[in-house]
Structure 1
Amino acid sequence: MATATGTGETSAVRLRRLVLGADPARRAVYILGALPGVWTFYLGVVDQLGADPVAILERTLGLWGLRFLILGLAITPLRRFGGPSLIRYRRAIGLLAFYYACAHLAVYLLLDRGGDLSTIWADIIKRPYITVGMLAFVILVPLAVTSNSTMIRRMGAQAWQRLHKLVYAAAALGALHFLMLVKVIPGEPLLYAVLVSLLLGLRVWFAAAKRLGLDKRPQRARAAGRSS
């Protein structure tokens, strides 16, 4: 009986590791973060996205990418001001932002423009909001590629941190892309633009405080927030 129980527990642990990986909480972030995209695709398949499903799918995926970018940028300010510490999930949140950006771009390229390269190139040249969106995506690519421990070791921590500060530029361009996309600026695009501006301002403030010696946090706390 003891052997059977032990075997059962081992099998359960193996199944959990197979589904959730070595870090169940982090894997859960990936799974939960992917749900909005999966649900939106499902609604498109069953024809529940309205009269223009491609446009709705494209915009929804882009919005979730921007939301995850903003959430990733908010992790350090939240921690500094006594909020929940999400540092261990920063990489997962950043990669989710990239995955949604990839899905957003794929819908635009394949469903919206049907893979017509001449039309796509004309959009990039003639439509500023497309140009801005493409620039944001190009910036995200090296950040996603280097979002692993191996690349941190190869590049060195300082070079890696300098590269990943480009996420602020990507977020700013993403928010601008959304603002330029709409003809009349409603609350949501303006809200995201304000949030990104606020987070950029906080970044400048934190950097200035460090230079002026006003950052009184313990050394360990400063080290944890350097890659923000």
Structure 2
Amino acid sequence: MQARFFPWLDRSGHLSILKLLVFVALFAPAAWIAVQFDLGWLNSDTVKSLIHESGLWAVRILIVSLAVSPLRRIGGWNKLIAVRRMLGVAVLFYVLGHFTLYIVQQGGDLVHVASEIALRLYLTVGFAALLGLAALGATSTDAMIRRIGPARWNRLHTLAYPIGVLALIHYMLQTKLDVSAPLLLVGLFLWLMGWRLLNRFKRGESLPALAALAVAAPVVTALFEAGWYHVRNGIDVADVLSADLSLDDGLRPVWLVLIAGLLVVALRVARPLWSRRPQPARRLRAAAE
């Protein structure tokens, strides 16, 4: 019973250092936003800044939650599965804060809020993502898993993927000019979805497949960026791609996505360093046989 109420405990009721560290890390952004608000460090439109920051962290944590499965399998870090639910609940927490702050910005007029959601595409998309997250949050308990059944529960929670798409579209649409920040998250999301496709074909831990994905994800990200700027701003596709290849303005999102993919490749290469540690019990059983 105790473990049910304290997320930093494991199922046996003992302290889990991993869960405690993740729990603290998940609330650190909220604490930092509160400190900035208290000290007056936010922009002049304080509520707007709070809306932006809470939404940004919601999407970031969503991306991290989707990274649990690939990191667990590629790195052999099975214990990461223990924090996946906590990450999902944190996403819902930040999204609800994001939406509540938007209602505050609109003077608490729920009728006006509803009309804005119906009329503005980026709000419609964002609200659809919120409803999806609420459904996942409502079914995240052990009791709901037993009631629904593991197979149906797993199918239901694949909604996290379209929810991720909706969240990123919402972020992109409400970003006026420079979409570098949301584009980086788009690129990481593309890698994560690409890995799931590989894993479906039993290639999720294949070193050549991961190397190919590390290259493919930034390429698709660059093409997506070029198409986005061309459609929304009329910028020539070749100009955008040329800017991506240049390092004059530092590392653009496509390069960061490439680096992230190569780090995963390095993780796969290094995995034998810790996954082949001597296991005395196993050696004793083998000797006895």
TM-score, with length taken from structure 2: 0.63
The answer to whether structure 1 residue 200 and structure 2 residue 209 are counterparts is no
What whole-Å deviation, never above 9, does each CA across 1:175-204 have from its counterpart, x for those lacking one? Answer: 111000111133111011111122122222
Shift in alpha-carbon separation, 1:95–1:198, aligned structure 2, 3 A: same
- 1:84 deviation in Å? 4.2
For residue 65 of structure 1, what is the aligned residue in structure 2?
58
Distance 2:55 2:204 in 1: 36
Distance 1:197 1:153 in 2: 32
- Pairwise CA RMSD of aligned residues? 2.4
The answer to whether structure 1 residue 106 and structure 2 residue 100 are counterparts is yes
- 1:78 deviation in Å? 1.4
Q: 1:37 aligns with which of 30, 33, 40?
A: 30
Distance 1:18 1:125 in 2: 39
Distance 2:31 2:204 in 1: 42
Tell me, what secondary structure is at the counterpart of 1:165?
helix
- 1:19 deviation in Å? 10
Question: Number of paired residues?
Answer: 197
For residue 143 of structure 1, what is the aligned residue in structure 2?
136
Distance 1:206 1:135 in 2: 28
Shift in alpha-carbon separation, 1:216–1:75, aligned structure 2, 3 A: closer
Q: Percent identity?
A: 34
**Structure 2 portions without partners, runs of 5+:** 207-289
Tell me, what secondary structure is at the counterpart of 1:147?
coil
Equivalent residues in 2 for 1:172-191, closer than 5 Å: 172-191=165-184
Q: What residue identity is the alignment partner of 1:92?
A: M
- 1:114 deviation in Å? 1.5
What whole-Å deviation, never above 9, does each CA across 1:78-113 have from its counterpart, x for those lacking one? Answer: 122226442111111111111111111111112x11
Equivalent residues in 2 for 1:11-22, closer than 5 Å: 21=9, 22=13
**Structure 1 portions without partners, runs of 5+:** 1-13, 218-228
For residue 159 of structure 1, what is the aligned residue in structure 2?
152
Equivalent residues in 2 for 1:208-223, closer than 5 Å: 209-210=201-202
Q: What residue identity is the alignment partner of 1:173?
A: L
Equivalent residues in 2 for 1:80-91, closer than 5 Å: 80-82=73-75, 84-85=77-78, 86-91=80-85
Higher relative contact order (CA 8 A, sep 6+): 1
Equivalent residues in 2 for 1:106-145, closer than 5 Å: 106-110=100-104, 112-145=105-138
